[in-house]
Amino acid sequence: MSNSNVEFYSTNEIKFIDRLLSYSECDDVNSLNVNLDNIKDFDWFDEEDFLQLRLKGIIEVRNVSIPKTEFEGSLEKVSVYECDYLSIDEENLIRTWVNSVYSFAAESISQRIDILKKDGYFYTEIDVDSDSKMQIKFIVNKNVSETNGLFISFINNINQNLFEELIYWDEPLANQSSASAFIQHIKQQGKLLSNRNFNYINIPPHLESTELEGFKSVIKTYLEKLGYSPSHNSKYFRPESIDYSLPEEMIREVYILGEQKIFIIENQSRIEFHTFTNGLKKSNDLITFHISKMNQLVEKKVQVYSGNKYRKSMNFAKDFKFILAYIIGFIPSIVSSAKILFTNKVDKVINSKWLLYTHFSSAIVMIILLLFIGLYPQIRLYFFSWSRNVNSKVKRFNKEYKKVNST
């Protein structure tokens, strides 16, 4: 946005608007309606300031025809006289205010200022970081229902205690230091807001400490396979931890790849991934994709691990399907034994190959069932590895990402 297309307030124009708003004592800037003749003789009225504000589209003047009745004796005479009334264009008032604050603070705006309206107030969104916007809300009407966020008020008669944060419009325009302080405040608030934007993986609540370390090793291995190098040196936490008010005691480790950093912050219920590029908080489509895949991978591993652990520790008597497995294994042996006990042809029964095979097979089946039910889960749990196959998964996911983004 070139400076030739941007309007700013001069110091005198700021004073003019301040006196005009104070004079009208309006609760709604849109309803401001001031007779020009009534203020022309005031010491604060300056013709040049008035004309400049009019040229900038902030002050609007409309000509009003007013009927006047006069009596000459018994005759009624109606005449019409014209007068000018002042009003304020709210959008231009706010847009010029934003431009002026940035100009006073010697800051540039890399975007067009769009003034939007919602629920009785105007607002604009300012880019404060490469991945976040800060919303500034403007009060031009006393009847504002929303009170959360940063508000700039053009109305003096308003209860400041109702709002989360309220600044009167002329405070940032008082001088250069005030404007600079306001811009820095906006940037800091924007960075705090951007801290709410992160990817995360939920930590399973049932994992014990040793199991939890295995869970975390999947994340470590995954990021390393992506080319990131882990570091536990606090010097690599800065300047991002300072600029974005991230307590260093919460940062578990940082992973670095060129100009990119991933801060791992561990809360009680989840592991957060805060991504930075060249010191700025910025989401990375590739990392976002891989964290989603990483989440699927760890969920699957937790499911397998928990299943094996459950089978190892469970009480078989409480699960009918395991009882049924034992019963099925015993049935052939019971039938064969009954024939041996209750037949009158014992010799023929004993010499029966079918009976011998039945006994032999049932024994084998029992052994296999016992091994499968009793030992297999323990063997699987013993040889379970959290980080196994992570490398192959990362390679497959990389190919998937390239395929999706190439179309």
pLDDT at residue 12 is higher than 90: yes
CA angle at 54 for the pair 48 and 56, rounded to the nearest 5°: 105
The domain locations on the chain are 3-89, 94-194, 199-301
Of residues 299 and 193, which shows the higher confidence score? 299
Phi, psi of 38 (to 5 degrees): -75, -20
Residue 369 has pLDDT above 80, yes or no: no
Contact 256, 236 (CB under 8 A): yes
Measured in degrees and rounded to the nearest 5, phi and psi for residue 126 equal: -110, 135
Residue 3 has pLDDT above 50, yes or no: no
Highest-pLDDT range among 167-171, 332-336, 392-396:
167-171
Which residue has better confidence, 140 or 375?
140
Q: How is 260-320 classified by DSSP, letter by letter?
A: EEEEEEE-SSEEEEEEEETTEE---HHHHHHHHHHHHHHHHHHHHHHHHHHHHHS-GGG-H
pLDDT of residue 57 exceeding 90: yes
User: Could you tell me if 210 and 379 are in contact, meaning their C-beta atoms sit under 8 angstroms apart?
Assistant: no
Tokens 């974005």, residue? 244
State residue 89's pLDDT score.
93
Tell me the CB-side half-sphere exposure of residue 44, using CA atoms within 13 A.
15
Tens of pLDDT, residues 117-153? 887 789 998 876 666 678 899 999 888 888 888 999 9
Model confidence at 4, in pLDDT bands (50, 70, 90)? very low
Q: What tens digit of pLDDT does each residue of 61-95 get? A: 988 777 666 766 667 766 677 888 899 999 999 99
Residue bearing the bigger pLDDT, 315 or 292: 292
Of residues 216 and 349, more confidence is placed in 216
Average pLDDT over residues 6-25: 90
Sequence letter at residue 391: N
pLDDT at 1: 36
Non-local (6+) Cβ contacts of 304 within 8 A are: 384
pLDDT of 334: 57
Cis before 239? omega within 30: yes
* Cβ neighbours, 10 Å, residue 101: 24
User: What is the residue-averaged pLDDT of the chain?
Assistant: 80
Q: What is the mean pLDDT of residues 13-38?
A: 88
Phi, psi of 356 (to 5 degrees): -65, -40
Report the run of H or E that residue 325 belongs to, with start and end: helix 320-342
Provide the percentage of residues in the chain whose pLDDT is more than 90: 26
Of residues 336 and 190, the one with the higher pLDDT is 190
pTM value is: 0.68
Place of tokens 């300047």: 239
Nearest to 98 by CA among 80, 117, 112: 112
Query: Amino acid letter at 166?
Result: L
Just give the CATH number of 3-89: 3.30.110
28/158 Cα distance (integer angstroms): 11
Give the separation between CA 396 and CA 25, rounded to whole angstroms: 67
Quick: pLDDT tens for 268-307: 788 999 999 888 888 778 888 898 998 888 888 787 766 6
Task: Check residue 320 and give its pLDDT.
Answer: 47
Contact assessment for residue 240 and residue 263, using Cβ atoms and an 8 Å cutoff: yes
pLDDT > 70 fraction of the chain, expressed in percent and rounded: 74
